[in-house]
Amino acid sequence: MCGIIGAVLVQGLVAPLIRQSLKRLEYRGYDSSGIATVNAGRIYIKKDKGKIDDIHRRLNFDALPGVIGIGHTRWATHGPPSRQNAHPHIDCSNRIAVVHNGIIENYQELRESLVDRGHILLSETDTEVLPHLIEESLQTTKELVQAVAKILPQIEGSYAIAVLDTSGTALVCARKESPLLLGLGTTGFYCASDVPAFLPMTRKTLVLEDGEIACLTAQGAVLYRLLSTGGLAQLPPRQPTTVQWTLDMAEKGGYPHFMLKEIHEQPRALLDTLRIRKEKLQKFAEEINKHQTVCAVAAGTSYHATLASRYMFSQIAGRFMHSVVASESPEIIDTSLGNDAVIIAVSQSGETIDTLHALKGLKRQGCTILAITNTVDSSITRLADDVLYTQAGPEIGVAATKTFVTQLACLASLSIHLGEITGKQKHREASELFLKLNKIPDLLQSIIRNRESLVKETAQQYVAKPSFFFLGRGISRATAMEGALKIKELAYVHAEGYPAGESKHGPIALVEEGFPVVFVAPNDRTRRFILGNIMEMKSRLAEIITICSSEDERLIELSDRVVAMPPTLSNIFSPIGYVVPLQFLAYYAAIQRGFSPDQPRNLAKAVTVL
């Protein structure tokens, strides 16, 4: 998730405006940034690794000349943060500059054929293929907008791009699956990943739809539909809407809190994570398979992701995986594991000191370390032998939400690849599992759309309760534990996440009339046992809140409150969907109890103390 901005001014210098816009997009990524402008037939670029203000102090972005410019703030996906990998990227002849947000899946093939045709590419990014392809296209096409349109049909993956060239009359932008909005002002025209970028200049905005291209000039914006042949069909002018948001609201996408925004971003984050290259996952899975012992190490929510994935590894790949809380690792596995062990280290931030400390010990013992993280160039990436990046984009709310579902998606994909290697899954069965996994972003969208208000009511009903149980069996135990963690950390309510079968061995003693027990109960092979656990709680007059399939009539009948889930959500991947109501529950419980969900007390986004 990067931030892009493009601007065409009627007069004045565009660079200071772009720099300030980038500041307002910095929440989308901040490991490098850059600006390109065009003036008198020449492109000017300043870019570097680091935060915008620091780069500006060193390079002075504002000195770039011209009324047309593009800017980018990067959240690295292909290639580490560096000057070379920072956007904008240019072609061989310095005639075209491009900024891009998204992932070009077939960039490797495109890159190889460009190199074969004599192009010199300087970065490791997927984006850099774009200016070079446009360079070729401009040899046979006069207008920039036509040249861009011509190359887009061959781009697989997602993009929001802004392009300028030395003709210096127009800026072209296009979009497929990554956000891009137009801002229509009186003194300038803009395109950006998000409204805050141009909010101080204009409140009039248009959403550019997938497959549309816009050409911005000092006279306004002309919209086109991209044809599969690479041609263009001009669209009739569209009425802009007027945004009423304050800047603070706009930064949160109109949501009152980052956490709510991030819950709503989960389908997108999942989709991007499911695009991780097959070869990369395959390589990871092969490395895992080489080792006798597989052990996951993580903390907090990331630990819960590893707990869920144990069931995936076992049921899909036939491989047993240990899962150890990072802070406990030195006491239990440091001295017992050696070079026949592979460690799967999961950390959103890549900076959790418990996890890093555990990994250092395990590395000394000769273990192979494979990291899954959301943060490029974080400390964990330097300790690891290989790294997989989840594609959640920066997560600002302290509570992990979208990073949790992307970790699960990553581990689920890994388990399918591993299953094919171990022979537990035939190729056809693995393909069916991938199909099921790829359906989840849409299912998540429908859960978010259809269940939020119901969960909000549920939170209202139980907000005064001092204590909760969250129970699940099998893979749902991890979901239950995550639900309990969320409500504890955000609403400051006591909650226990427990294996449902274990609840009768002690915790049930706490249950009395009206005690709320949340059951996470997909229709998998544990369901007949969970039915018994529900009966045990019911007979002690507990209030039963169940998250189960909308087709599970028996559980629905037994429960006081139900959050029904789509029956098409595959059981083995169910935590990815079933956690969403629990995130909403914690969020709304916090709001109703008067606490800020974005910054819970005593917590930090990255915990860097042992």
Task: List, by residue number, the catalytic residues.
Answer: 2, 605
Contact, 598 vs 257, CB < 8 A?
yes
CA distances from 470 to 285, 501, 508, 515, 521 (A): 32, 12, 12, 11, 11
Contact, 415 vs 446, CB < 8 A?
no
Say how far apart CA 319 and CA 314 lie, in whole Å: 5
| 400 forms part of the interface with ligand M6R (CB under 6 A) | yes
Residue 403 or 570: the one with the smaller Cβ distance to ligand M6R is 403
| 347 forms part of the interface with ligand M6R (CB under 6 A) | yes
Binding part of the chain for ligand M6R, among 73-81, 122-130, 347-355, 513-521 by CB under 6 A, reads 347-355
| 352 forms part of the interface with ligand M6R (CB under 6 A) | yes
Interactions with ligand M6R, residue window 500-559 (CB under 6 A) = none
Return phi, psi of residue 175, to 5°.
-145, 140
Which residue from 21, 39, 77, 302 is in contact with ligand M6R, where contact means CB under 6 A?
A: 302
Residue 102 or 300: the one with the smaller Cβ distance to ligand M6R is 300
| 355 forms part of the interface with ligand M6R (CB under 6 A) | yes
Query: Minimum CB separation from ligand M6R for residue 375, in Å?
Result: 8
Query: Minimum CB separation from ligand M6R for residue 485, in Å?
Result: 6
Return phi, psi of residue 243, to 5°.
-80, 130
| 235 forms part of the interface with ligand M6R (CB under 6 A) | no
Query: Minimum CB separation from ligand M6R for residue 437, in Å?
Result: 22
Read off the DSSP letter of residue 537: H
Query: Minimum CB separation from ligand M6R for residue 73, in Å?
Result: 21
The maximal CA–CA distance of the chain, rounded, in angstroms, is 81
| 348 forms part of the interface with ligand M6R (CB under 6 A) | yes
- Give every CB contact of residue 293 below 8 A, 6+ residues apart in sequence: 322, 337, 340, 341, 342
Binding part of the chain for ligand M6R, among 191-199, 280-288, 346-354, 529-537 by CB under 6 A, reads 346-354
Residue 3 or 397: the one with the smaller Cβ distance to ligand M6R is 397
Binding part of the chain for ligand M6R, among 18-26, 199-207, 343-351, 408-416 by CB under 6 A, reads 343-351
| 493 forms part of the interface with ligand M6R (CB under 6 A) | no
| 399 forms part of the interface with ligand M6R (CB under 6 A) | yes
Residue 371 or 520: the one with the smaller Cβ distance to ligand M6R is 371
- Give every CB contact of residue 102 below 8 A, 6+ residues apart in sequence: 157, 158, 159, 160, 161, 176, 177, 178
Query: Minimum CB separation from ligand M6R for residue 248, in Å?
Result: 23
Which residue from 2, 180, 333, 398 is in contact with ligand M6R, where contact means CB under 6 A?
A: 398
**Beta-bridge partner residues of 516:** 543
Other beta carbons within 10 Å of 164? 29
Interactions with ligand M6R, residue window 31-70 (CB under 6 A) = none
226-232, long-range: CB within 8 Å, 24+ apart, which pairs? 226/149, 226/152, 226/153, 226/174, 227/149, 228/153, 229/153, 230/149, 230/150, 230/151, 230/152, 230/153, 231/149, 232/145, 232/146, 232/149
H-helix or E-strand spanning residue 556: helix 553-558
Read off the DSSP letter of residue 212: E
Residue 4 or 485: the one with the smaller Cβ distance to ligand M6R is 485
Binding part of the chain for ligand M6R, among 175-183, 295-303, 496-504, 510-518 by CB under 6 A, reads 295-303
Say how far apart CA 98 and CA 87 lie, in whole Å: 7
SS3 category, 302: helix
SS (H, E, C) 235-296: CCCCCCEECCCCHHHHHCCCCCCHHHHHHHCHHHHHHHHCCCCHHHHHHHHHHHHCCCEEEE
Contact, 585 vs 483, CB < 8 A?
yes
Size of the site for ligand M6R (CB under 6 A): 15
Residue 158 or 348: the one with the smaller Cβ distance to ligand M6R is 348
| 332 forms part of the interface with ligand M6R (CB under 6 A) | no
Say how far apart CA 357 and CA 537 lie, in whole Å: 41
Which residue from 300, 394, 474, 483 is in contact with ligand M6R, where contact means CB under 6 A?
A: 300
Residue 89 or 304: the one with the smaller Cβ distance to ligand M6R is 304
Using CB atoms, what's the residue nearest to ligand M6R?
300
Query: Minimum CB separation from ligand M6R for residue 315, in Å?
Result: 24
H-helix or E-strand spanning residue 344: strand 341-347
Cα end-to-end span (Å), the chain: 30
Residue 132 or 402: the one with the smaller Cβ distance to ligand M6R is 402
Residue 194 or 262: the one with the smaller Cβ distance to ligand M6R is 262
Binding part of the chain for ligand M6R, among 251-259, 299-307, 435-443, 500-508 by CB under 6 A, reads 299-307
Binding part of the chain for ligand M6R, among 298-306, 315-323, 336-344, 535-543 by CB under 6 A, reads 298-306
| 299 forms part of the interface with ligand M6R (CB under 6 A) | yes
CA distances from 561 to 74, 555, 556 (A): 44, 10, 8
Compute the 3-state secondary structure of the chain and give helix, strand, coil in percent, each to the nearest 5: 40, 25, 35
Query: Minimum CB separation from ligand M6R for residue 599, in Å?
Result: 11
Q: Rule CB under 6 A: which residues touch ligand M6R?
A: 299-302, 347-349, 352, 355, 398-400, 489, 606-607
